[in-house]
Amino acid sequence: MYPLPDNGIYSIAYYDYTYTLNNEELTFSKALDASDFVLWWHRNPDRKPYSTAIVRADKANYFYPDFVLCVRYYQEAEPKIRLVETKADTKDAMNKAGRLPKSYGKVIFLTRNNQRLHVVNDEGSLGKTVSDNLIELRERLRETGNVS
In a domain? residue 112? yes
* Side chain identity, residue 49: P
In a domain? residue 133? yes
pLDDT in tens, 99-127: 666 778 888 989 888 888 889 888 888 88
In a domain? residue 148? no
Number of structural domains found in the chain: 1
| Interval 54-60 mean pLDDT | 70
Q: Dihedral, CA atoms, 141, 100, 22, 142, nearest 10 degrees?
A: 0
- What is the model's pLDDT at position 57? 64
In a domain? residue 27? yes
Phi-psi region of 97 (alpha: psi -120 to 50; beta: other; left: phi over 0): alpha
In a domain? residue 5? no
Residue 127: CATH number of its domain: 3.40.1350
pLDDT in tens, 72-97: 998 888 999 999 998 877 766 666 66
Q: Please determine, for residue 148, whether its predicted confidence score (pLDDT) is greater than 60.
A: no
In a domain? residue 15? no
Distance in angstroms (rounded) separating the CA atoms of residues 128 and 119? 6
Question: Residue 25: what are its φ and ψ, rounded to 5°?
Answer: -65, -40
Whether the CB-CB separation of 52 and 68 falls below 8 Å is answered with yes
Other Cβ atoms closer than 10 A to 141: 23
Q: Which domain holds residue 128?
A: 22-143
In a domain? residue 2? no
> What pTM was estimated for this model as a whole?
0.81
In a domain? residue 56? yes
- What is the model's pLDDT at position 113? 86
Distance in angstroms (rounded) separating the CA atoms of residues 9 and 2? 6
Whether the CB-CB separation of 104 and 82 falls below 8 Å is answered with yes
Choose among 64, 61, 81: nearest CA to 147.
81
Distance in angstroms (rounded) separating the CA atoms of residues 59 and 117? 28
